């Protein structure tokens, strides 16, 4: 497994080795001990989720509030998406900064997103199948969110806003300055 750094030292990209032969291919997507060995992170993922989306579907920016915070390991099974991670840790040196990465069935990259970061993505290909592992269960009443078009963030989602397809809930997210945020120094949401 290859580990690549990102703008945030806590967020990293993973690339598994792909073995190909006359039958097709094989890759190990997740191995708990290898993740610990390569990154130093010990984590117990407890749930896997898959979303199917068409081009322009934008999901995010989401996070879970304390005590139901989630770390995620995300990847794309089919298609291409632009993944976006925003540092929402108030007091962090990179607070309000964001990182983007294209994930696809061609580049075979995975992205690890720890607690304290908002996450979202948009489908750039005709369709996508997106897979993510989480280390805590989703609690609807504990969901935090940030508007994907927050002008203070200025995220380039790779498609013009008029082409975005959002859920009714995702259309109502607050701006970063009005959202519940993670206090970097106290390690909790405020």
pLDDT tens digits, residue range 37-65? 777 788 899 999 999 999 999 999 999 98
Q: How many CB atoms lie within 10 A of CB 126?
A: 10
Residue 116 predicted with pLDDT over 70:
yes
Q: What is the pLDDT of residue 19?
A: 83
Q: How many CB atoms lie within 10 A of CB 69?
A: 20
Q: What is the pLDDT of residue 20?
A: 85
Which residues are catalytically annotated? 62, 132
Domain covering 2-18+26-189 assigned CATH 2.60.120.10 in the classification: yes
- Shortest CA distance to 1 belongs to which of 16, 18, 20? 16
Give domain limits for the chain.
2-18+26-189
Q: Tokens 């497994």 map to which residue?
A: 1
Most confident stretch, 40-44, 106-110, 186-190: 106-110
Q: Is 41 exposed, middle or buried (0-12, 13-18, 19+ CB in 10 A)?
A: middle
Mean pLDDT of the chain: 90
């Amino acid at each position: 497994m290859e580990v690549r750094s990102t703008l945030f030292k806590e967020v990293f990209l993973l690339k598994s080795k792909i073995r190909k032969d006359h039958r097709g291919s094989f890759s190990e997507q997740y191995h708990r001990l290898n993740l610990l060995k390569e990154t130093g992170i010990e984590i117990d993922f407890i749930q896997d989720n898959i979303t199917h989306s068409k081009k322009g579907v934008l999901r995010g920016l989401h996070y879970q509030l304390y005590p139901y915070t989630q770390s995620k390991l995300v990847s794309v099974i089919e298609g291409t998406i632009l993944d976006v991670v925003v540092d929402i840790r108030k007091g962090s040196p990179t607070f309000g900064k964001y990182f983007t990465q294209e994930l696809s069935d061609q580049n075979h990259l995975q992205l690890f997103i720890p607690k304290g970061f908002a996450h979202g993505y948009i489908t750039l290909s005709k369709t996508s199948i997106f897979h993510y592992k989480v280390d805590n269960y989703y609690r609807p009443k504990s969901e935090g969110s940030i508007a994907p078009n927050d002008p203070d963030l200025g995220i380039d989602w790779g498609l013009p806003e008029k082409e975005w397809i959002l859920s009714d809930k995702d259309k109502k997210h607050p701006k970063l300055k009005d959202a519940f945020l993670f206090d970097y120094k106290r390690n909790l949401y405020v």
